[in-house]
Amino acid sequence: MSVHSTSGVVAFSDTDASGRFHHTAAYRWAENTEHAFYRSVLPDVDIGRFPRRSTSATYERPLTAGDAYTVDLALDRIGNSSITYTWTVTGPAGVCVRGAHAVVHVDATGRPAPVPGVLRDRLAPAAGAVA
């Protein structure tokens, strides 16, 4: 179940020499959707405290400059210090990318730290599993 969606249009700068979107663009779009989700539940969250731990994506259809797309983000799991998401990028012809990523909350020294309680409380209703 999607917890947050964003939409956009593929910019020319998101494409590669083939004219199709560059594979890294999907990761940026998913990360922007994740950040918009955080801001929607806790406007003053320190987004910089959630670096990527793992990422994966499967590319199913191309997008080209000018194509509209939607990113649907689902929150799969909240662990002690990590949050796991899955997401899809959908374009005019259907699902273009299926992806997933996990983030780890870190403290001021860059070490893993528990997800802040107030953020956990606001995300928990959307999570598939909470540890």
Output the domain CATH number for residue 122.
3.10.129.10
User: Tokens representing 76?
Assistant: 């799969």
* Number of folded domains that form the chain: 1
Q: Is the pLDDT of residue 1 over 70?
A: no
Q: How far apart are CA 15 and CA 31, in angstroms?
A: 18
User: Tokens representing 116?
Assistant: 């802040």
Least confident of 30-39, 95-104, 122-131: 122-131
12: confidence class by pLDDT, cuts 50, 70, 90:
very high
Question: Where in the sequence is the domain holding 95, given as residue range(s)?
Answer: 4-130
Q: Is the pLDDT of residue 127 over 70?
A: yes
Secondary structure element (H or E) that encloses residue 90, with its range: strand 82-91
User: Tokens representing 26?
Assistant: 């999907």
Sequence-ordered alpha helix ranges (H) in the chain: 23-41, 117-123
- Tell me what pLDDT residue 43 has: 87
What is the rounded average pLDDT of the residues 77-105?
97
Q: Is the pLDDT of residue 126 over 80?
A: no
- Tell me what pLDDT residue 124 has: 84
Higher per-residue confidence, 61 vs 131: 61
Least confident of 2-6, 69-73, 90-94: 2-6
Q: Give 23-77 pLDDT, tens digit per residue.
A: 999 999 999 999 999 999 888 888 889 999 999 999 999 999 999 999 999 999 9
Say what percent of the chain tops pLDDT 90.
80
